[in-house]
Amino acid sequence: MNTFGRIYSFTTFGESHGPAIGGVIDGMPSGLKINLDRVQAELDRRRPGQSALTTARDEKDRVEILSGLFEGITTGTSIGFIVRNADQHSRDYEEMRTIYRPSHADYTYDMKYGLRDHRGGGRSSARENISRVVAGAFARQALETMGVSVYAYTSQVGDIALDKDYTQYDPQLIETNPVRCPDPATAEHMAELIKQVKADGDTIGGVITCVAKGVPAGWGEPIYGKLNARLADAMLSINAVKGFEIGMGFDGVSHRGSEMNDAFVPGGKGITTLTNHSGGIQGGISNGEDIYFRVAFKPVATLLKEVVTVDRDGHGTLLQARGRHDPCVLPRAVPVVEAMTCATLLDAALLARTTRL
Amino acid sequence: MNTFGRIYSFTTFGESHGPAIGGVIDGMPSGLKINLDRVQAELDRRRPGQSALTTARDEKDRVEILSGLFEGITTGTSIGFIVRNADQHSRDYEEMRTIYRPSHADYTYDMKYGLRDHRGGGRSSARENISRVVAGAFARQALETMGVSVYAYTSQVGDIALDKDYTQYDPQLIETNPVRCPDPATAEHMAELIKQVKADGDTIGGVITCVAKGVPAGWGEPIYGKLNARLADAMLSINAVKGFEIGMGFDGVSHRGSEMNDAFVPGGKGITTLTNHSGGIQGGISNGEDIYFRVAFKPVATLLKEVVTVDRDGHGTLLQARGRHDPCVLPRAVPVVEAMTCATLLDAALLARTTRL
Amino acid sequence: MNTFGRIYSFTTFGESHGPAIGGVIDGMPSGLKINLDRVQAELDRRRPGQSALTTARDEKDRVEILSGLFEGITTGTSIGFIVRNADQHSRDYEEMRTIYRPSHADYTYDMKYGLRDHRGGGRSSARENISRVVAGAFARQALETMGVSVYAYTSQVGDIALDKDYTQYDPQLIETNPVRCPDPATAEHMAELIKQVKADGDTIGGVITCVAKGVPAGWGEPIYGKLNARLADAMLSINAVKGFEIGMGFDGVSHRGSEMNDAFVPGGKGITTLTNHSGGIQGGISNGEDIYFRVAFKPVATLLKEVVTVDRDGHGTLLQARGRHDPCVLPRAVPVVEAMTCATLLDAALLARTTRL
Amino acid sequence: MNTFGRIYSFTTFGESHGPAIGGVIDGMPSGLKINLDRVQAELDRRRPGQSALTTARDEKDRVEILSGLFEGITTGTSIGFIVRNADQHSRDYEEMRTIYRPSHADYTYDMKYGLRDHRGGGRSSARENISRVVAGAFARQALETMGVSVYAYTSQVGDIALDKDYTQYDPQLIETNPVRCPDPATAEHMAELIKQVKADGDTIGGVITCVAKGVPAGWGEPIYGKLNARLADAMLSINAVKGFEIGMGFDGVSHRGSEMNDAFVPGGKGITTLTNHSGGIQGGISNGEDIYFRVAFKPVATLLKEVVTVDRDGHGTLLQARGRHDPCVLPRAVPVVEAMTCATLLDAALLARTTRL
């Protein structure tokens, strides 16, 4: 399935080495003046080649909007967009036609479909994220009119982790370093680790923390469309993500209810909570506090050293990946996490309008 | 939204203190002889009052199947079912009409809908799990004809955690103790902790590990319906769940790709992997290995001691919850985790049939 | 698929001779005081045994609401309901276990599912309409708060047809006769025809006209969820319906654009049209004028005389249907057409709220 | 909503005078060698400027496939495609920025969205059909591997109608004339009428008949996804369609059940029917006979003569449409009807695989 969302939804297409990546955004409300430069700027944050920490591929990734805007304003009709592929070195991938890279999607695609476009990962390439970032960038501009802002940052690379919670970091500092970590000193250590891993032809995982501020109480469906479940679905749909936790998450399980409960207190604009261990969602519905969650990324599967694997016929073989690959996806995954969060929240915002008579 | 699933799907209804809980299962393939005793047996596993560790509420929870079976065999038509509510002490909840329990869904329901059935948690009550368990029990019987089995167990309560991975435990031991932990010695410690927490009028969280064996390669959608994303969505839709991780999950982020990749090797029935850090899913699609994941449950919000909170008007107040509540939901959540997993997998199995020409 | 609708949706279950018929309504907005007597009254309009024109089966069809209301008001949670089956003469249907009634769903169910509940038509029985009527009755009460009213009437039985358009008939007269035709003189002729057809052991078809007043401009999706397409989908989902036309429909094709176009003119509350050949929908979206359409019902397939047919093995055989059947479904289908229209319109109303920023 | 279908589905975008029209096809099974020339050939059948009967606009409408094929074979991933717009005379439409064309979607779009792209009809333009034709052309090639073929033809223009049923006409003759009518003599009369109407600056409607052969018994959902309901939904989603009837349709209502029932008889490959008044679908499920239905198109709303109408402010005004428009859409709508039928049938084919255990 290539569609995400119920009302604000998007449907994507595109293989890494095909003519283009793109998609269709549906359910965008009418009447919003769109800043297309900001949409492009989000894509630029995801683009490879931004720093020495990421792949050297030079992808321009210029988005072309094909519909849905009239004189710069959303019309409520679907928004088609494409990003042409370029700078492809398809020959780098010829071996992968018959050889399965370990922990990649090569084997499972073959088992599911009986064939696959092996060039550059084909449909399973992280270039698919381009479409998510575009859909998220539109959603973000709609959310801003509702007072909602979303940011994410790299909170862990390998075993180097930020040790304080999100409230202790200044989001303004995230973009000051190529790791996208709001603590510059830690960012430097992370950068060192990534460079070292890269020098070894290896890869490393990490954690991204995401925060949504300004979400009013009442968004999210209470049973199967719980807002936390939608966010988990959104995050686990991103390549390499292996875990999701909201609020206190896994750490909360060892505490008692009397420690974990968020006491209600009278607040400025109504009722608020003293603490926010819940991460802004209770019973699947936002409670007006900050929403925050953490997303675990495994290390990238494609190593730049020779690995033992098998081919389609099950024969053992050696594989030396050539292409150009990130030693660590975290820095470039930050805008993807933000994008999926924005799309999920705008969908919830629109659904929330249907709730009361 | 009260529906889960695309092809094999179910839609539920019911409040804790209303006349009944129930639902409709859609997309159940025709031609399966159903063992209704086993469906009821699953419900009995979820039922309160099974042991001293759980609430003393005595809920019979007899399921009545209203359609979709003919002479004991599924006909492919929708399966309606109800479970009558009984043993309700609605008066225990009168205070909660206007008072919000901390970290419960009382406040968010009111903010979303403007009113709520406050008795026994209303729609947000864990009694809604009854419908999930029924839908999962049907799915399980269909999956068994495909060679798929699913089990879950309590792997952590508070800070008492099993320290080995799932392959080191015998699933036959899970039901030998009321905690549903396959290590009897650890189970006893967990039971002690739960009793102690209960004596304090407090609650405690924990982790459930779930394993699916026999899933063939090729189930799951590669982009937005990734099998891991659907499982995360399913798990986060369960009350009190705050985290999900598959395979090595959060622990995997600090390892290098060269350690985490699962090497392919020629296997008995085709290609297999030497390790299974991926948890049986790569690129969103099952790879034929065991699927395993962990689910974090926060401590139950309802404490049996006086707490400070606010009422609808924002005035501070004290609340002494009366009703009967679990100090720890883990033991009774095990069948719910299994049920949601079974429903998710059967849906994926049916969708997988549409993949190839 | 047993679900209808996107936001206001309902999922149904139940076979004619099983324990019960029922369903779950989802997406009902919160805060509506429901008149349950009016819900039951809609069911009574559909009930068999109302007059000499319909089957003599005496079905009480008492609806039991199981959830979603609190102190008589909708809470926004799903509404479960059941209607117990009774007065079943399952033995009347024993022959149909292996024999296919011509133009009925017996054969196609067997071809699709490999088995079926043959008693009383099983899932293909018109008793499934009970669930539609309940879902429509709830929708109608929500629509009334928006100023929308819906009514339908029998406009043709066999070749006896009303010759004027809907604006020429007083809807108050519809319920004054058992045919549900607003022209009492024509109704009498229709009744005569039905009695004669019944005496012959035969059946007869007809047309129902449906009108929705007060729908504001702007409901309906412009491309694939066109309001007229949703209505057509809704109508063709009713047993025995073979045609749908909106506005001038098939008659409009032989006219020229200059005759058929509805000229805009300044109106009391804005812009209105001089004529309404479009039937209140243009470009898939309501334009504020009356919505009206016609629905063609074929004659009931089950005849009360001996017919030649085949059995499961393809052997020719004779069938003498015994049960009790309507010679003409039109009178009892009127509330079903209204119900499906109400559900479709409420869904469109809620979706329309998500359109503009 | 810009998506059609459940498993085989497509999502479209594009305004008449924007950069491009296009879409994304999802759920296309893998392993099909696609003949792209045939896809383009379907588009050419829909293209304006084919004959003197249609608009003089010269639209090249070359489809570019952007993904989903690898070495000419479907991979099971989504298929993105675009068709660049060209030959636009946007200035012809400047007046329509503020003036509402009668019976067009101008007014309803404004009421729904608050603004619209007025150039060439914007999103409501019949150019959106391009995307349908592409999606249908892919579906047709998949259906052919299942032995299913689909054709449609113009059976009525104004009051000139074919008087025999579809079995009496040779589908090979459809493309022998620009009207796409399989009876050449009648086609000539229809062509005369269209020319005369065009000379008057007027427009005329008509009827298209569509036939699907080779559909096996068992496709279609029995309750809300009835195959006939899905086809009605598909047809009414096409611009200008005001009616749908299947099998005997509206004509069947005046006949008795004993005349209309299709007697089962032992057939070559199993059970067949003596007649086919049902149009190949019984109880919502295909019965293995030919599926045939009729679709009513109203005359095109845009006249090439001056008409009285109103502007956005409700002031009366005169409008002289300039652009280039079809006097009769029937000939070019034939491939659109076929396309929507093919997409609907392939979706039903794939869903049918999930039916039995």
Chains that touch A (3 or more CB pairs under 8 A): B, C, D
A2 burial (CB, 10 Å; 0-12 / 13-18 / 19+) is: buried
Distance from C-alpha of B287 to C-alpha of B265, rounded to nearest angstrom: 13
What lies within 8 Å, CB to CB, of A99 at 6+ separation is A106, A309, A310, A311, A312, A317, A319
Token pair for residue D108?
Answer: 């309803």
Q: In the block, which residue shows the tokens 């060192």?
A: A192
Question: Which pLDDT score is estimated for A212?
Answer: 98
Token pair for residue A98?
Answer: 């018959």
Distance from C-alpha of B326 to C-alpha of A329, rounded to nearest angstrom: 42
Chain A residues inside the 8 Å CB shell of D97: none
Chain C residues inside the 8 Å CB shell of A31: 356-357
Comparing CA positions, the residue from D130, A253, C180 lying closest to residue B296 is: A253
Q: Which residue of A has its CA nearest to C30?
A: A356
Question: Which pLDDT score is estimated for A57?
Answer: 59
Q: Which residue of B has its CA nearest to C65?
A: B19
What are B55-97's pLDDT values in tens digits? 655 568 999 999 999 999 999 999 999 999 986 676 777 888 8
pTM recorded for the entire structure:
0.97
DSSP code of residue A356: B
Token pair for residue A298?
Answer: 């495994």
Would you tell me which residues 25-44 of chain D have a C-beta closer than 8 angstroms to some C-beta of chain B? 27, 29-32
Single-letter amino acid code for the residue at C293: F
- What is the 3-state secondary structure of B77-90? CCEEEEEECCCCCH
C2 phi/psi in degrees, rounded to 5: -115, 20
Distance from C-alpha of D154 to C-alpha of B79, rounded to nearest angstrom: 44
Beta carbons of A293 and A244 less than 8 angstroms apart: yes
- What is the 3-state secondary structure of A249-310? HHHHHHCEHHHHCCCEEEECCEEEECCCCCCCEECCEECCCCEEEEEEECCCCCCCCCEEEE
Question: Which pLDDT score is estimated for C56?
Answer: 58
What are B283-315's pLDDT values in tens digits? 999 999 999 999 999 999 989 888 889 999 889
Beta carbons of A331 and A154 less than 8 angstroms apart: yes
Instruction: State whether B75 and C1 contact (CB < 8 Å).
Output: no
Distance from C-alpha of B69 to C-alpha of C329, rounded to nearest angstrom: 28
Task: Report chain D's terminal Cα–Cα distance, integer Å.
Answer: 33
What are A32-91's pLDDT values in tens digits? 999 999 999 999 999 887 777 766 555 689 999 999 999 999 999 999 999 999 866 767
Q: How many CA atoms lie within 13 A of D354 on its CB side?
A: 27
State the Cα angle at A236 between A230 and A237, rounded to 5°: 90
Is residue D113 less than 8 Å (CB to CB) from chain A?
Answer: yes
Q: Which residue of B has its CA nearest to D355?
A: B29
Question: Which pLDDT score is estimated for B87?
Answer: 66
Helix (H, G, I), strand (E, B) or coil at D344: helix
Chains that touch C (3 or more CB pairs under 8 A): A, B, D
Comparing CA positions, the residue from B274, A237, B119, A51 lying closest to residue C71 is: B119
Helix (H, G, I), strand (E, B) or coil at D7: coil
Q: Sheet containing C206-213: which strands, arranged edge to edge?
A: C160-161, C149-157, C206-213, C291-297, C241-246, D241-246, D291-297, D206-213, D149-157, D160-161
Beta carbons of B302 and B321 less than 8 angstroms apart: yes
Is residue D98 less than 8 Å (CB to CB) from chain C?
Answer: no
State the Cα angle at D202 between D201 and D203, rounded to 5°: 135
Comparing CA positions, the residue from D345, D328, D315 lying closest to residue D187 is: D328
Sign, CA torsion A69/A70/A75/A80: negative
Beta carbons of B357 and D29 less than 8 angstroms apart: yes
Distance from C-alpha of D5 to C-alpha of B1, rounded to nearest angstrom: 21
Helix ranges (DSSP H) in chain B: 36-46, 106-113, 129-144, 184-199, 227-236, 257-260, 330-352
**Type and span of the H or E element at D139:** helix D129-144
Alpha-carbon distances of B230 from A131, A234, B133, rounded to whole Å: 20, 10, 17
pLDDT tens for each residue of chain C, 357 residues long: 999 999 999 999 999 999 999 999 999 999 999 999 999 999 999 988 777 776 655 568 999 999 999 999 999 999 999 999 986 676 777 888 899 999 999 999 999 999 999 998 899 999 999 999 999 999 999 999 999 999 999 999 999 999 999 999 999 999 999 999 999 999 999 999 999 999 999 999 999 999 999 999 999 999 999 999 999 999 999 999 999 999 999 999 999 999 999 999 987 668 999 999 999 999 999 999 999 999 999 999 988 888 889 999 889 999 887 766 789 999 999 999 999 999 999 999 999 999 999
Phi-psi region of D101 (alpha: psi -120 to 50; beta: other; left: phi over 0): beta
For the beta carbon of residue A80, count every other beta carbon within 10 angstroms: 31
Token pair for residue D214?
Answer: 């080779």
The residue with greater pLDDT, B323 or A140, is: A140
Best residue of C154, C190, C282, C353 to probe chain D, by most D CBs closer than 10 Å:
C282
Instruction: State whether A260 and B217 contact (CB < 8 Å).
Output: no
Beta carbons of A44 and A38 less than 8 angstroms apart: no
The size of the B-D interface in CB pairs under 8 A is 48
Distance from C-alpha of B30 to C-alpha of C278, rounded to nearest angstrom: 44
Instruction: State whether D250 and C250 contact (CB < 8 Å).
Output: yes
Would you tell me which residues 118-137 of chain C have a C-beta closer than 8 angstroms to some C-beta of chain B? 122-123
Distance from C-alpha of B330 to C-alpha of B298, rounded to nearest angstrom: 10
Instruction: State whether B243 and A245 contact (CB < 8 Å).
Output: yes
* A144, pLDDT greater than 90: yes
DSSP states of D295-328:
EEEPPPS--SS-EEEEETTS-EEEE---S---S-
Question: Which pLDDT score is estimated for A322?
Answer: 72
pLDDT-wise least confident of A142-146, B156-160, C58-62, D172-176: C58-62
* Average pLDDT value over all residues in chain A: 94
Q: What are residue B80's DSSP bridge partners?
A: B24
Beta carbons of A217 and A288 less than 8 angstroms apart: yes
For the beta carbon of residue D341, count every other beta carbon within 10 angstroms: 27
Is residue A221 less than 8 Å (CB to CB) from chain B?
Answer: yes
- Number of helical (H) and strand (E) elements in chain A, helices listed first: 7, 19
Q: How many CA atoms lie within 13 A of C15 on its CB side?
A: 25
Which residue positions in chain D have pLDDT lower than 70? 54-59, 87-88, 90, 268-269, 323-324
Comparing CA positions, the residue from D142, D12, D5 lying closest to residue A80 is: D12
Counting every residue, how long is chain D?
357
Is residue D239 less than 8 Å (CB to CB) from chain C?
Answer: yes
* A282, pLDDT greater than 80: yes
Question: Which pLDDT score is estimated for D49?
Answer: 76
Q: What are residue A243's DSSP bridge partners?
A: A296, B245
Tell me the mean pLDDT in the region A82-103. Answer: 84
Phi-psi region of A68 (alpha: psi -120 to 50; beta: other; left: phi over 0): left
To the nearest whole Å, the CA of D338 is away from the closest chain B CA by: 21
Distance from C-alpha of D11 to C-alpha of D220, rounded to nearest angstrom: 21
State the Cα angle at A326 between B246 and A156, rounded to 5°: 55
B164 burial (CB, 10 Å; 0-12 / 13-18 / 19+) is: exposed
Beta carbons of C196 and D249 less than 8 angstroms apart: no
